[in-house]
Structure 1
Amino acid sequence: MILVTGATGHFGKLTIDFLLNKGIESSQIAVLVRNAEKAAGLSGMGLKILIGDYNDYPSLVKAFSGMDKLLFVSGTDLLNRTSQHERVVKAAVASGIRHVVYTSGEVRVEGPDSPLWAFAEVHVKTEKWLKESGLTYTILKNSLYLEYIPYFIGNVLETGMIYLPAGKGKISAALRSEMAEATATILATEGHENKSYHFVNSEAYGYADIAKYITEITGKTINYISPTEEEFRATLQQQGLAIPEEYIGIILAQARGDGEIVSDDMEKLIGRKLTTMKAFLQEVYQRS
């Protein structure tokens, strides 16, 4: 039995769909949800619905009991997810789960000096806990979703520019659905025990590339301007924009080259080339 956490989120739902497409019977898939009402659509698919919360250790132990594999989707509560993740790992050990597949993050530099440390610290700790737990594990080092790119660059068709302090840094963002497909492959097959996979694209792209692609796709000239961090913050302040520090940290990490890791791990898992940045942007901006 495969248990999928985060099943009401985009990634969890996509992974379930790919599991079913790969021939896993719905009766062999369970989902962990905090609220049964939100899982109404999932129960209609014949999946086993289990109630549990990362903040409630006994509920996790109860839900995990009898499961063979656990897709442990990392929490989104930045303030509390370190303690949440520790509970999940301990509950997995206590309930006898055989194999944990964990959605971690791709980080080049580990430590407080990294602008990504607010995101990365919990992943570093969770990977350590899994490796020390005695559990069989698979670690998915997820990159930025391609789907986030339009949010990062803003309304470029109105402004005519991408204005981010990312310098010449590149990013190997990958499509969320292809990450979910690769995850389903790991859950549905054997041979992934105690391995880590780089869930990144096979090519990295700079924001100058993105500006060029959008220009080619739309016929509207888009320029890439990379201010200093101080200039960027001053501009945000002048415009009255409140951008989360985590967002700024991601951009600054990209400027340092932290997002440039590339790999063919996902291509091997799904058996084809990944969607490129230009193909993704074509799909987005041709509809605009």
Structure 2
Amino acid sequence: MMTAVLSEPFSPAASATTRRSRRLPRLGVAGWCAAVFLIAMVVMAVFAPLIAPYDPDAADLLAAYAPPSAEHWLGTDGTGRDIASRLIYGARPSLLGPAAIVVMTVLVGIPLALLAAWRRSGTEFAITRAFDILFAIPGLLLAILAVAMFGPGLGAAAVALAIAYLPYFGRLAHTAAVTERNRPYVTVLQVQGHGPMRINVRHVLRNLSPMLTGQASVTFAYALIDLAALSFLGLGVQAPQADWGVLVSDRDALLRGHPLGVVAAAVAIVLTVMSLFTLGSKLSGEES
């Protein structure tokens, strides 16, 4: 029996990987709609200079608060800037900031989670206690403190939010990695002489990828909300740079009865966040 198992050293992990990977395409109608919408947002951000009809910072005071027309799809703001162009260009910082936060969280959180799951006792205790300490710090408050120390902008806020989101991602990855670490195929691979690095990268991490991908999508959504809130408060991306949070903060347009730019940016944020949550739940298997 043991000989038969050892003759196929990767079959247990491979079969587990196959079972998990089969869930990826099963997104359902809602999942695929969310994926298509997010891809469209990314394409819009990347190719903004080709899609936007105007320079987002080009002002024309004679055309201030112009209504929607063939020339200005969503009208203009108080300085005559084209709202549609600013909405399109605003996708760049609105998506780039959360993407940077997710990358930083993943690059730090996953190695720490795997290390804690593999090397128990002291190492695991130190890493999990560090996660617990970070849990006590509200993410938005930490970002505001970072902005107060280093000045308004996207960089300091993104790093602060990445630190704040680290325990959520790391704790989830650690719990899943401990469960995976105790599976029989890991023992088989150890008996065959495979090292921890090979087992974690080629098998454990691969088997956890659907769940981690789903969590990364949810983290992206929360990061987008928090960065938009900071921009709304004037602590994140600074006007006149186009950003969805900056567009939502145009109180003067609301008071003058021209809310289209604010509504368009708010709708873009809401739809993007909803798509991220939907895709994240589908990828992590929370919904069938």
User: By the TM > 0.5 criterion, same fold?
Assistant: no
Say which one has the larger Rg. Answer: 2
The alignment's TM-score, normalised by the length of structure 2, stands at: 0.24
Q: Which structure has the higher relative contact order (CA within 8 Å, separation 6+)?
A: 2
Higher strand share: 1
Could you say which structure has the higher helix fraction? 2
